[in-house]
Chains A and B, each alone.
Chain A
Amino acid sequence: MFHWLEKNPFFFASAISIVISFAGLIEIIPNFAKAGRPLVDLKPRTVLQLAGKMVYQKDNCMACHSQMIRPFKAETDRYGKYSLSGEYAYDRPFLWGSKRTGPDLHRIGNYRTTDWHEAHMKDPAKIVPGSIMPAYKHQFTNMADIETAYAEAVTVKNVFHTPYGPSIKRGKAAWEAYKPTVLAEARKIAADMKDERVKKAVSEGKVPEIVALIAYLNSLK
């Protein structure tokens, strides 16, 4: 049988395709609907938080931080309640990470505050002596892309039925109408911050990356 296969490339390739597809079919498909189910009271992230998640992705925080508290006492003592599948139901992509050079962040919103993050992102080693995390000063001057975050909210609402309210709609006009909501949320974060550049930018209707990022980190609970 094998000699025959080795002389018939078409059947050989077909045989490979069949053999390699089993695992995915059996491990991924049967549980798909169940694993996609959200917790009962789970709310999708606000547009500002989504913009912060995009900053988290852009600066690739997940290279060093996980968002997955495993069910061990050592982890629940350190980080809080272990993670549940339903908490991630609106996370596209998942941001569990695979390496903890720094601590887990899945419930960071429970024990760190806006001003802590502000000082920490400017100079991590000053807040946590011995820290090897780089400073992310550019987040104080770069502006977050809130329009793209809004586009993401519209997309997941329309395509995946993520439960956003009726004001999240397609098109420029809807976005212009929605923008003040995002800015209001940004002002609340900025009120707890000290950096003058950030305060000035927010008062001018712009959202620095750090503001969005903190909104996101505060939402991790």
Chain B
Amino acid sequence: MQSNAALEYDYSLAKKFTYLTILFGFLGMLVGTIIAAQMAFPELNYLLGEYGTFSRLRPIHTNTVVFGFTVSGIFATWFYVGQRVLKVSIAESKFLMVIGNIQFWLYFVGALAATVSLLLGYTTSKEYAQYEWPFDIVVVLIWVLWGVSIMGLIGIRREKALYISVWYYLACFLGIAMLYLFNNMEIPTYFTSGGLGNPLHSVSMYAGTNDALVEWWYGHNAVAFGFTVPIVGMIYYFLPKESGQAIYSYKLSLLSFWGLMFVYLWAGSHHLLWSTVPDWMQTMGSAFSVVLILPSWGSAINMLLTLKGEWNQLTDNPLIKFMVLASTFYMLSTIEGPIQAVKSVNAIAHFTDWIPGHVHDGVLGWVVFMIMSAIFHMAPRMFKRELYSKKLMEAQFWLQTTAVVLYFTSMWIAGITQGMMWRAVDEYGNLMYSFIDTVTVLHPYYTIRALSGVMYLAGFIMFAYNIYKTMTVGKELTQEPQFRTPMA
């Protein structure tokens, strides 16, 4: 194998997407904290008139976190990891640099415009696919550009064998492309009605039960290919790099990868248990959700075992701590999901706050922690400076970990309480509680959740500040650190 020293990688694109990751992360979490507070204190709905209600803001929170923060993070790490594992600088190809920059600007402008459109109320109402058709076209264009970038870089690679991370980035690209296209099939009404009404409006190609099936096949697997696959790809690169340890088992990574690819998509119908989709589909969704524990835990265990004999790193390197906690939350979240997908549990859990609770231990504990770890690892190498403050990292770690724990515990209690109250009957078989009783009882939990949001957001601001300081005043490095990230 040729030595690393000869290659100078070009990090300009990775840097640009890193800035966006931080920007969209802040915005998405800020809106999330606001809407969490609105559920505890409804007066907060009136800060922005028509545009500030919970219902209008919620898609902005979800879409900014999914398509703003996470996707930027995926792009940022790809433009860093891709070059390094393929042993080729993206600057060796002018074409790829141009494509990458078009992708960046189209993405930046498109994301802002799409957010404004949601604020104004233009929505297709399909969760995580709310953007109206012109923005869908922009999303597809961005995705195609990214595809060109991936394939192009693979095309000019020096290292012939694709490293595990590349498998996951490839799968992320292919999976999202397929899901997004099929779920967003819609017909703009303006063109089919002889030029009537609003040109932005469209109707879905599918109706009723079919629409629900396609949507949750998408919705569940957008989580798979956006929140799981690329993030696993990241940890397969960053954990060995940071710890200096080789991946524990190649066979386990094979099993987890192909297992995840095959099993994940079947589980989508667990979002529709007890609905009007046929029973056999619901059962398939449940069964495959349980099987999904295998590949998910396969990856997580592979990560934890990578640190075998090196657990001392956990105490002296906060970055290892972030990544180990991320893997742990991944395990928690991927055992919780299958539990909720069991039909009898789902009968209580569905429609309650336990579901957002589950989503957030996955996203806050796993996705955001991993993306932040990646940026902490990349920053000294991209900016050639030491990380600004280890103390700040430690403080951030504990603040955010406490926040996640508060978030999911309060939502577990809230969800199960509400689920049980909805079905509680007295000795004569009459319902015991009116609906509003099951809402007012949740106030303390909503308050705790809002507080956890504030804490997590504060942690994210500490992270952003740490990176900013690293870029501007961090101690300059004369040569690239090999494994452990240097920090002051």
A interface list, Cβ under 8 A from B: 2-3, 6-7, 9, 12-13, 16-17, 19-24, 27-28, 31-32, 35-36, 54, 57-64, 66, 68, 70-72, 74-75, 77-78, 83-85, 87-103, 125, 128-136, 138, 142, 145, 147-152, 154-156, 158-160, 170-172, 174-175
Contact = CB atoms under 8 A, between A and B. Distances in A.
A9 B204 contact: no
B186 to A, nearest CB: 9
19 contacts: A16-B167, A16-B174, A21-B178, A22-B262, A24-B178, A27-B213, A35-B277, A36-B208, A60-B59, A60-B123, A70-B274, A74-B424, A87-B208, A97-B351, A132-B39, A148-B198, A149-B197, A154-B189, A154-B192
Given A70-B275, A170-B193, A170-B194, A27 B170 contact: no
B435 A103 contact: yes
B174 A57 contact: no
Interface in B176-213: 178, 182, 187, 189-190, 192-198, 201, 203-204, 206-213
A27 B197 contact: no
Contacts of A87: 208
A74 B425 contact: yes
Given A7-B160, A154-B192, A64 B55 contact: yes
Given A92-B206, A94-B211, A99-B355, 9 more contacts: A19-B258, A27-B284, A57-B125, A70-B274, A72-B423, A91-B208, A92-B211, A131-B436, A171-B196
Interface in B205-241: 206-215, 217
B192 A159 contact: yes
A17 B181 CA distance: 14
B194 to A, nearest CB: 4
Contacts of B254: 2
Contact of B213 (A20, A28, A70, A89): A28
Contacts of B335: none
B45 interface: yes
Q: Which has the most chain B C-beta neighbours within 10 Å: A66, A151, A156?
A: A151
A159 B211 contact: no
A147 B196 contact: yes
Nearest to A71: B274
B473 to A, nearest CB: 42
A177 to B, nearest CB: 13
Q: Which has the most chain B C-beta neighbours within 10 Å: A3, A54, A152, A158?
A: A152
Interface stretch (B264-272, B323-331, B384-392): B264-272
Nearest to B123: A57
Nearest to A173: B194
Contact of B261 (A19, A145, A174): A19
Nearest to B446: A132
A51 B380 CA distance: 54
Interface stretch (B46-54, B89-97, B302-310, B458-466): B46-54
A75 B197 CA distance: 39
Nearest to B265: A23
Contacts of B321: none
A9 B151 contact: yes
Contacts of B39: 101, 132
Interface in B155-169: 160-162, 167
Contacts of A95: 125
- Chain B interface residue count: which class? 35 or more
A172 B194 contact: yes
B436 A98 contact: no
Interface in B51-89: 53-56, 58-59
Contact of B193 (A24, A75, A154): A154
A114 B353 CA distance: 30
B420 to A, nearest CB: 10
A102 to B, nearest CB: 7
B37 to A, nearest CB: 11
Nearest to A141: B50
Contacts of A63: 54-55, 58-59
B296 to A, nearest CB: 16
Contacts of A150: 193, 196-197
B431 interface: yes
Contacts of A13: 170, 174
B162 A93 contact: no
A-B pairs with lowest CB-CB distance, top 5: A88-B208, A148-B197, A23-B265, A134-B45, A170-B194
B217 A27 contact: yes
A133 B215 CA distance: 26
A177 B215 CA distance: 36
A61 B215 contact: no
B170 A9 contact: yes
A88 B215 contact: no
Contact of A23 (B54, B266, B347, B355): B266
Q: Which has the most chain A C-beta neighbours within 10 Å: B46, B125, B189, B269?
A: B125
Contact of B265 (A3, A20, A131, A156): A20
Contacts of B189: 148, 151-152, 154-155
Contacts of A61: 55
B109 to A, nearest CB: 24
Given A31-B281, A96-B275, A101-B39, A151 B201 contact: yes
A96 to B, nearest CB: 6
A141 to B, nearest CB: 9
A59 B226 CA distance: 27
Contacts of A90: 207-208
A35 B208 contact: yes
B436 A64 contact: no
A133 B211 CA distance: 28
A3 B196 CA distance: 57
Given A36-B210, A160-B207, A131 B171 contact: no
B123 A58 contact: yes
A83 B277 CA distance: 11
B355 A98 contact: yes
A171 B161 contact: no
A171 B266 contact: no
Contact of B174 (A20, A102, A142): A20
